[in-house]
């Protein structure tokens, strides 16, 4: 299995980070992809990657919730410096979040578009954070259409129409703990989405799947997400694991 979206460097793991990673490895999680947030955690993320070569892979980007009027331009310069300095597996997580703050929409869009340009220039996938912002996110992606523009709609929680729109734009869906929630709704249509358009994720330490909902999430729980897909797609665990793993390796250029 591959956890395509996990904040292993989060301070919520400071007490037991290596034990937590070992639990995931013991469960069969082979690789971990780390989305960036902002300059406060870049070094911590990259240090952790160095400790687990061939297991942990860093992205680089500015999270939409960190796009703030007083600092976003400086933060983007830091992202660009990192992208010029060394290779990354993706530009992310980037996008639009209108749940926490609608007042920054204009600069969120500017930051999103700039980072899309950098990804296309470097032929990297993007990992999109979209919360209460599908319409705005799709508008940006339609404007920025390019043969090299591809990636993941992380923590996908939209409807079937939005899922198909994302796929039509050359994106795949990151499926995590929400698929196990009774009110998550995506389990009601997910079997209409081809399995080759799905990757597994946890978004740990957030959004733990049932039966750990409300508690700290960790990468070992990606097994519970895969288990839910077994029920939805009516395929055995090994096939869910194989197909979603192949999808992730192909997207991140590790195949």
Note the pLDDT tens digit of each residue in 2-26: 999 999 999 999 999 999 999 999 9
pLDDT reported for residue 184? 84
Burial 51-90 (b: 16+ CB within 10 A, else e): eeeeebbbbbbbbbbbbeeeebeebbebbeebbeeeebbb
222-246 pLDDT tens trace? 999 999 999 999 999 999 999 999 9
Record the pTM: 0.97
Q: Tell me the percentage of the chain whose pLDDT exceeds 70.
A: 100
CA–CA dist 129, 12 (Å, integer): 21
pLDDT reported for residue 199? 98
Using the predicted structure, report yes or no on whether residue 255 has a pLDDT greater than 90.
Answer: no
Q: What separation in angstroms does the CA of 188 have from each of 2, 180, 183? A: 24, 11, 10
Using the predicted structure, report yes or no on whether residue 68 has a pLDDT greater than 80.
Answer: yes
Q: Could you please report the per-residue DSSP string of 57-84? A: EE-B---GGG--TTTHHHHHHHHHHHHH
Using the predicted structure, report yes or no on whether residue 84 has a pLDDT greater than 90.
Answer: yes
Backbone angles phi, psi at 173, to 5 degrees: -105, 130
Q: What is the mean pLDDT of residues 136-156?
A: 98
Give the number of other CB atoms < 10 A from CB of residue 20: 20
Using the predicted structure, report yes or no on whether residue 54 has a pLDDT greater than 80.
Answer: yes
Q: For the chain, give the mean pLDDT.
A: 97
């Amino acid at each position: 299995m591959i956890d395509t979206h996990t904040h292993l460097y989060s301070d919520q793991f400071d007490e037991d980070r290596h034990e937590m990673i070992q639990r995931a490895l013991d469960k069969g999680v082979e690789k971990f992809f780390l989305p960036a947030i902002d300059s406060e955690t870049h070094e911590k993320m990259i240090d952790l990657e160095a400790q687990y070569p061939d297991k942990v892979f860093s992205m680089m980007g500015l999270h939409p919730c960190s796009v703030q009027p007083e600092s976003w331009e400086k933060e983007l310069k830091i992202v660009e410096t990192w992208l010029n300095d060394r290779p990354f597996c993706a530009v992310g997580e980037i996008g639009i979040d209108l749940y926490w703050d609608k007042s920054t929409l204009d600069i969120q869009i500017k930051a999103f578009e700039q980072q899309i340009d950098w990804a296309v220039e470097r032929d990297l996938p993007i990992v999109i954070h979209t919360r209460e912002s599908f319409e705005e996110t799709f508008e940006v992606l339609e404007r920025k259409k390019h043969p090299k523009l591809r990636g993941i709609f992380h923590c996908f929680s939209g409807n079937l129409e939005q899922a198909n729109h994302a796929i039509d734009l050359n994106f795949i869906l990151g499926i995590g703990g929400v698929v196990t929630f009774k009110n998550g709704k995506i389990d009601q249509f997910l079997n209409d989405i081809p399995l080759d358009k799905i990757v597994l994720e946890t978004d740990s330490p957030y959004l733990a799947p049932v039966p750990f909902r409300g508690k700290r999430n960790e990468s070992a729980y990606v097994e519970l997400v895969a288990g839910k897909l077994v029920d939805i797609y009516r395929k055995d665990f090994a096939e869910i694991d194989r197909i979603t793993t192949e999808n992730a390796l192909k997207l991140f250029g590790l195949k």
